[in-house]
Structure 1
Amino acid sequence: MGSIVPVPITPQRFAGKIVFLTGGTGGLGAATCELFLAEGASVFVVDLHAHDIASKLSKTLHFQKCDVSDPVACEEAVRACVAHFGRLDVLINCAGRVGPVTDVPGMPVEEFQKLIGLNLGSVFYLSRVAIPQMIKQGGGAVVSIASTSGLAGDYGLCAYNAAKAGVINLSRAMACDHAKDGVRVNVVCPGYMITPMSAAFETQPDMYADLLDGIPQGRGCDPKEVGRAVLWLASDEASFTTGTTLVVDGGWGARSGAPKFTKYM
């Protein structure tokens, strides 16, 4: 049996590492970008809009506009990252959108295809270019953001449910295929996060109260709480972790779906 080599824990876990991050100009992506930069990484951010990232660009932070639902644009962006920084060590697939709340008959075909392309297709398009680059370098890590919506069904989120479930199983398949190459592939499934994308929840007081009541910790998640899980999976501290799905949801998924008996009895 081989010996276990301890991995030192330092505040600069990503010094010298190059991170390619999608959806990095807002919400969870922006929070995760900040965490990587604070731990010594250089980050190549792609998104459809620059937002306020333009004022933060530096030697260690680069931005390129990219539609990650376009396979050609994804390939060009990965090539640009390698040309700019010289390598690619970590791929973080964070771009995504929930889409309209409707059942299958009410979902326009074009909208379904767009949501699958953005939430699931982008993971495939980027991984197929990034992983060979990582293998050339001796290994790397891929971490994709799925959702608790990829673990169970939701009312009215048929496309989002399908896409996020696909991200989880695609990641498992890639983990199996590329463990021998030194490339680890994992998934983070956030529950309810307090981001601009979820701000609409707070405009429905009854629904919002019901939502929080269903979370054992009784609150929404700060994006950095999810971001720290992403960083751990991307770091050498998770060297024997691949093909896993890490749920960060305040205990939401631990419930059986039964009524909150302690509230009524």
Structure 2
Amino acid sequence: MNQSNNSGIIEQFVNKVMGVKNGNHERSSGTSIATTQELDIKAVLVYKLGTIIQITVMILVLLGMEKLVMLIDNNSDFPRWFSTLLTGLFFALLSIRSRIFSILDNTRSRQTYDQIIRPRWAPPRLAFPIVWMIIAILRVISSVLVWQQMNHQFLVLPLILFVVHLALGDTWNTIFTVERRLGAAVPVVLLGPWLSAVVVTAIYWQTNPVAGMILSFSCVWLTVAAVLVFRIWQLNGSEPLYPLKLTPVEK
């Protein structure tokens, strides 16, 4: 009984930190079904626009952080470590809650994962927020190391690519978790979160090898996640690999 209670407490803590809801969230397409094989052009445009806006906002936030840290570094009233602490907290916010900068519905919920057919080797649902929490910590450490290597600058290529990676991941979450478009999620996870993670890791490695090594774990996990998304797509009907046009239906 105690072990079960401890597991429940751990699950509640992890889900709260990572912002995962317990399945009561109703996905936006819950009252719609795909009745044709027609491409949903509107959805594609919304995904692109949402991603571009999120990237733009986060780049502006990077600019604001650069100016703020510059003021702190030039002010003798602050200890030298203060800007590093502030930067670490900033990257923690980005790594855990980058979706606050997105105009898309990026609700983290277990509902989709609980209701679809999964392969036998699929990780338990609690594994995802735990692993993502670990990855968030690794992202913070590696990004701070890159920031230090770049002389406390934020508007630099490695960190810009980092926020692009986060935005692509949030858009994929909208497609898979919120809207349950299992077909569209396959190419998006490969060309979005997975490919961008490889690129960011390579750039981090060139900037600071230790930072690249730390971040490389995310590439391993995203490779597993991409294979899992592909198998889920196969097991759940292999719908076309693009967002289908949905038709509203009455409840």
Give the structure-1-normalised TM-score. 0.28
Bigger proportion of residues as helix: 2
Give the structure-2-normalised TM-score. 0.29
Bigger proportion of residues as strand: 1
